[in-house]
Chains A and B, each alone.
Chain A
């Protein structure tokens, strides 16, 4: 599968699809008018795909549940007969198709680099979910097109799902391939508790139907990222299929923008669920205004310290400490290193009513967060006070609220380098440090030690150092400057600060 490099020097997403996961369009396309519309919608999507002659189809189906991070299909040719656990009376799906294992391995690497747990599964008879099979069979009935398949972690919320999408995007961009990405998910998933004749089908709740139609209007305008930003609202109002995680993944994998030509190829109910076939073709001229209400996350830092026990399980209000270092295990059984960030348990778990909830251990330190500084890109506070010391998390130049980067980002969404002004970025970093210190009751003059990270020492040191000297010459903090290969957001400079605290702890 080589690409036509004349057209696209790097890999690209040529088409993004949202597809229904019900088996009916495949197994009984003439069962009723709604199913027929969906089958026709699938056929229209297939025609678009055929015209593009892509190298690869990447599928994320909300019907493939995983718990241990994310799984990716690594069997080069999965072959089996599948029967749906609910709609078994519709018949079986025989399948055998090629998987792009090298691409999948790159996704695993990129996902791991972004803090996710990800691994391949290569087992004879591994159950592939109905939605994945329906999408694959209807888009490529001859099973010629290589596929990559990614699971949906049942605990993953927006951050983890978006980072997974970004990992897929990393792999696409570096692959040189022309790729179609498909999220297999219904819009709403409230099935009738008893089967209805497909000729009398409707979306089971009017509220679900209205929200579906509102979402489809936005899809039709090509505003995929806006739909992704709306997912939480949609899930609060309608019975969203898997909280609409599929759209989070799709938007992130396709590049987190609104520049598409959108087309709703079909919208119809199946047993009460709201199903749509939506096609989104990247088209810069269609780019609509982007307005990010939700954070743009790049690295996942949650829920990884749990195995170590003890501290990691403390309630959310308890001090966050690194989990204890495990005793050395036999060489073959060395546990994977966990990041030091302790994970708070999900808020949903509670103690039973008559039992007092577990009390937190004595507080020895206090986290400090402020809306005056840019939102963290992971599970960490802006600062933490321990005794008379303040430890600040790494601070970059992003502007609180807007995430805009003074002096400009160092690369665009496709990873292409951009010109940027490191002096302006450095000023913005120092300003953010000042805001955090003030939120903690300290000042810039209280800084004791600074570690500076630059992504390009040769290009940036002089300009950064000039700005630094303006502010820090009179403070006299110790300093270390390092060059590193990258920072999690497209910035050139980041400061790690240790300062003296003021006032009572």
Chain B
């Protein structure tokens, strides 16, 4: 299948979680630590996601990352190029990655403008010494390791979650709508990535060999039940139901959805009523991770 979508639309969306373990296990040249194996089920899931995305014509990747944490508004990378060394502060022994990426500055400013027009607080990030967060880098690497596309990285805005999960959700819904309008206005064919895990309670200890898979399992059965519930909603096209349950999911499964990435994505996609493709589910140091994709074209064809 080779599709040439019309410009000015979101051509695909993906839930693309960012455990550094996945990059570590893959041993790409950019990453300094070396591994012998690990988390294959998730990595194969990413492989299938990449294969599906290869069939699409994509101009830009927009990634919403839980690991660029801001409180005063949503911030957007807005300089043409960033390069440097990304060292994961939590897992520095797994992820020390040399990145070199391009930014679609015009689209970045369009997102800022659309967000502001919707009454949201948005700020372009224009400090050339800024270090791009590892969540954005990992999700982009796993989805598009060739780095041949420019990206726009969006911070997770925590301020409204401080007042309650529902309040935070509302902000992310509006940000998703603003992002869609910016894509349409700039004529981009955009891939959107929500860079978050599902349930998110970690072990606080690690085996001596990080990739020793005998130790990999969900931290708590309740998390697993929650993850399956949310995945089933999304696979059945019940994304509005997923949104309705998101505040409880966040609390009940200590979900990384609290940073708003998945809500932003579902909103930008117009809360799909068509099924998401599940590419893989697996745990990483006790957290639950699903790789899922939404393809509006396939939905239309149905």
B90 at the interface (CB under 8 A from A): yes
Say yes or no: A193 contacts B73, CB within 8 Å: yes
Say yes or no: A194 contacts B72, CB within 8 Å: yes
Instruction: Collect the chain A residues with CB atoms within 8 Å of residue B87's CB.
Output: 123-127
Interchain nearest-CB distance for A107 vs B (Å): 18
Stretch at the interface among A2-10, A81-89, A368-376, A411-419: A81-89
Give complex CA distance A117, B160 in Å. Answer: 34
- Of the candidates B125, B219, B285, the one whose C-beta lies within 8 Å of that of A88 is B125
Say yes or no: A67 contacts B252, CB within 8 Å: no
- Of the candidates A68, A332, A345, the one whose C-beta lies within 8 Å of that of B206 is A68
A239 at the interface (CB under 8 A from B): yes
A488 at the interface (CB under 8 A from B): no
Say yes or no: A193 contacts B71, CB within 8 Å: yes
Stretch at the interface among A216-224, A242-250, A348-356: A348-356
Given contacts A85-B69, A306-B219, A68 and B89 within 8 Å (CB-CB): no
B264 at the interface (CB under 8 A from A): no
Stretch at the interface among B41-49, B100-108, B126-134: B126-134
Interchain nearest-CB distance for B200 vs A (Å): 10
Instruction: Collect the chain B residues with CB atoms within 8 Å of residue A304's CB.
Output: 204-205
Give complex CA distance A153, B203 in Å. Answer: 12
Give complex CA distance A334, B214 in Å. Answer: 12
Give complex CA distance A443, B297 in Å. Answer: 76
- Of the candidates A83, A192, A308, A349, the one whose C-beta lies within 8 Å of that of B130 is A83
Give complex CA distance A129, B92 in Å. Answer: 14
B258 at the interface (CB under 8 A from A): no
Interchain nearest-CB distance for B289 vs A (Å): 15
Interchain nearest-CB distance for B181 vs A (Å): 21
Give complex CA distance A351, B286 in Å. Answer: 16
Given contacts A83-B130, A86-B70, A336-B205, A345 and B85 within 8 Å (CB-CB): no
A232 at the interface (CB under 8 A from B): no
The number of A-B residue pairs with CB atoms under 8 Å apart is: 175
Instruction: Collect the chain A residues with CB atoms within 8 Å of residue B253's CB.
Output: 349
Instruction: Report B71-110 CB contacts with A as 1/0, cut-off 8 Å.
Output: 1110100000000110101111100100000000000000
Say yes or no: A335 contacts B121, CB within 8 Å: no
Given contacts A333-B207, A333-B208, A353-B248, A65 and B201 within 8 Å (CB-CB): no
Given contacts A86-B71, A88-B125, A193-B73, A65 and B96 within 8 Å (CB-CB): no
Say yes or no: B89 contacts A351, CB within 8 Å: no
Say yes or no: B226 contacts A351, CB within 8 Å: yes
B217 at the interface (CB under 8 A from A): yes
Interchain nearest-CB distance for A32 vs B (Å): 15
Say yes or no: B202 contacts A67, CB within 8 Å: yes
Say yes or no: B129 contacts A326, CB within 8 Å: no
- Of the candidates A68, A192, A308, A357, the one whose C-beta lies within 8 Å of that of B91 is A68
Say yes or no: A88 contacts B130, CB within 8 Å: yes
Say yes or no: B222 contacts A358, CB within 8 Å: yes
Say yes or no: A355 contacts B229, CB within 8 Å: yes
Say yes or no: B127 contacts A307, CB within 8 Å: no
B302 at the interface (CB under 8 A from A): no
Instruction: Collect the chain A residues with CB atoms within 8 Å of residue B223's CB.
Output: 349
Say yes or no: B121 contacts A351, CB within 8 Å: no
**Considering the complex, which residues of chain A in the window 181-195 have a beta carbon less than 8 Å from any beta carbon of chain B?**
190-195
Say yes or no: B70 contacts A307, CB within 8 Å: no
| Interface SS majority for chain B | loop
A346 at the interface (CB under 8 A from B): yes
- Of the candidates B212, B249, B286, the one whose C-beta lies within 8 Å of that of A306 is B286
Give complex CA distance A126, B85 in Å. Answer: 9
Give complex CA distance A269, B258 in Å. Answer: 27
Give complex CA distance A353, B68 in Å. Answer: 31
A401 at the interface (CB under 8 A from B): no
Give complex CA distance A426, B235 in Å. Answer: 65
- Of the candidates A69, A195, A354, the one whose C-beta lies within 8 Å of that of B205 is A69
Say yes or no: B252 contacts A86, CB within 8 Å: no
B251 at the interface (CB under 8 A from A): yes
B155 at the interface (CB under 8 A from A): yes
Say yes or no: B155 contacts A85, CB within 8 Å: yes
Interchain nearest-CB distance for A263 vs B (Å): 30
- Of the candidates A123, A155, A193, A352, the one whose C-beta lies within 8 Å of that of B159 is A193
Instruction: Collect the chain A residues with CB atoms within 8 Å of residue B254's CB.
Output: 346, 348-349
B286 nearest in chain A by CB position: A306
A239 nearest in chain B by CB position: B162
A463 at the interface (CB under 8 A from B): no
Instruction: Collect the chain A residues with CB atoms within 8 Å of residue B127's CB.
Output: 83, 88-89, 91-92
**Considering the complex, which residues of chain A in the window 85-110 have a beta carbon less than 8 Å from any beta carbon of chain B?**
85-86, 88-89, 91-92
Given contacts A83-B129, A193-B72, A304-B205, A313 and B220 within 8 Å (CB-CB): yes
A386 at the interface (CB under 8 A from B): no
Given contacts A271-B72, A351-B252, A352-B229, A127 and B207 within 8 Å (CB-CB): no
Say yes or no: B220 contacts A349, CB within 8 Å: yes
Give complex CA distance A192, B201 in Å. Answer: 28
B209 at the interface (CB under 8 A from A): yes
A303 at the interface (CB under 8 A from B): yes
B55 at the interface (CB under 8 A from A): no
Say yes or no: A121 contacts B215, CB within 8 Å: no
Instruction: Collect the chain A residues with CB atoms within 8 Å of residue B251's CB.
Output: 348, 350
A64 at the interface (CB under 8 A from B): yes
B118 at the interface (CB under 8 A from A): no
- Of the candidates B125, B202, B206, B252, the one whose C-beta lies within 8 Å of that of A352 is B252
Interchain nearest-CB distance for B281 vs A (Å): 16
B225 at the interface (CB under 8 A from A): yes
Say yes or no: A117 contacts B204, CB within 8 Å: yes
Instruction: Collect the chain A residues with CB atoms within 8 Å of residue B298's CB.
Output: none
Say yes or no: A125 contacts B85, CB within 8 Å: yes
Say yes or no: B73 contacts A194, CB within 8 Å: yes
A306 nearest in chain B by CB position: B203
Instruction: Collect the chain B residues with CB atoms within 8 Å of residue A329's CB.
Output: 209, 212, 214
A309 nearest in chain B by CB position: B217
Instruction: Report A101-139 CB contacts with B as 1/0, cut-off 8 Å.
Output: 000000000000000010001011111010000000000
Supply 6 further A-B pairs (C-beta < 8 A) apart from A307-B205, A349-B199: A88-B130, A91-B127, A125-B84, A313-B220, A357-B222, A358-B225
* 6 CB-based A-B contacts, threshold 8 Å: A81-B129, A85-B68, A88-B125, A123-B87, A193-B72, A307-B203
Name B residues whose Cβ lies closer than 8 Å to a Cβ of A: 68-73, 75, 84-85, 87, 89-93, 96, 121, 123, 125-127, 129-131, 133, 155, 159-160, 162, 199, 201-209, 212, 214-215, 217, 219-223, 225-226, 229, 245, 248-249, 251-254, 285-286
